[in-house]
Amino acid sequence: MKKILALVCSVLLISVLAACSGNDSASGNSGDEESDSNGESKVIKAGIGLNQDHPQYKGLLKFKEIVEEKTDGAITVDTYHSGQLGDDRSMMEALQLGTQEVVIPSTAPVANFVKEFSVFDIPFLFPNEEVADKVLAGETAQGLLTKLEDQNLVGLAYWENGFRDLTNSKRAVASMEDMEGLKIRTMENDLHLDAFKKLGANPTPMAFTELFTALQQGTVDGQENPYATIYLQKFYEVQNHVSNTHHIYSPFVFMMSKQFYDGLSEEQQTIVREAAVEAGEHERKLNREANAKYLEDLQEEGMTYTEITPEARQEMVDAVQPVIDDYKSKIGEDTVDAIYKEIEEAK
């Protein structure tokens, strides 16, 4: 009798377990369908090299605000400043690998991936910001953004770093003669290096994250960046002189991992594209206001400001012309000619 009861109990237990298993399976499928329908929140890890007070970071916060609001939180944006995720090049490589989603580098390191971006590193290319705005919104510049896709990157918009100016710890620079022998940190870009050699300086390529220490220790005498960067990175603590060389207008390129971008819906792709453009307009406005203010602040911090005369600047323009001629074929003659044509039209 006991054996019969045990057998009946076993059969009942197996039936119950089977029924439970069937319910779990149905529940699991239902849950998967719900997850696919609603989708998990996608995370954009966005990094820059500049600090949290720079207009670029404030622009990035604007991008975060727009994207999270318009996607109802389906996409969230985590922001990292001050090179927390690495320098520009290493962050671009992280985008290619799909381990980071957004970075906003200057065009100089971008040229290591798409050579035509070197056109924006041609010295004395843009006469003013207004012309730069028109050209960057034009056909040639926008076309360059599409070339990034071959590198597993998606170019969404141009932002602004601004006109780059020279600082150093040795002497006031009012002319090419004053640049002679100065050890100047530049970005890791051959066109920059060759141009500064023609100007008489001794250029030294270096990651931005290493720059303050190099200036402090005298590894280099000076560097070149827009006023906002010079002030917010506190270079005035280790530099005595600033000159408005305005030798290069430097755009930022807002780019996203193609792997991540391709995984977005069409609606989400539109949102991130429009957000990059809108946040860029916000960043550009803040940047121009900041650069005007920070030049005054640099002088208040004790830096000596030297104005470059039109004659002295023309001497610099003439000195670097052979470099421009040499790099034209390396960059791509069609690209260079098209940009110069659009500059003339924009004027």
What string of pLDDT tens digits covers the 347 residues of the chain? 444 444 334 434 434 333 443 333 333 333 333 333 456 799 999 999 999 999 999 999 999 999 999 999 999 999 999 999 999 999 999 999 999 999 999 998 899 899 999 999 999 999 999 999 999 999 999 999 999 999 999 999 999 999 999 999 999 999 999 999 999 999 878 898 999 999 999 999 998 889 999 999 999 999 999 999 999 999 999 999 999 999 999 999 999 999 999 999 999 999 999 999 999 999 999 999 998 899 999 999 999 999 999 999 999 999 999 999 999 999 999 999 999 999 999 99
Round to whole Å and give the CA distance between 335 and 5: 89
Judged on CB neighbours under 10 Å (0-12, 13-18, 19+), 284 is buried
Continuous segment of H or E residues that includes residue 317: helix 310-331
Q: What is the largest CA-CA distance in the chain?
A: 114
H/E segment holding residue 305: strand 304-306
What residue type is assigned to position 58 of the chain?
K
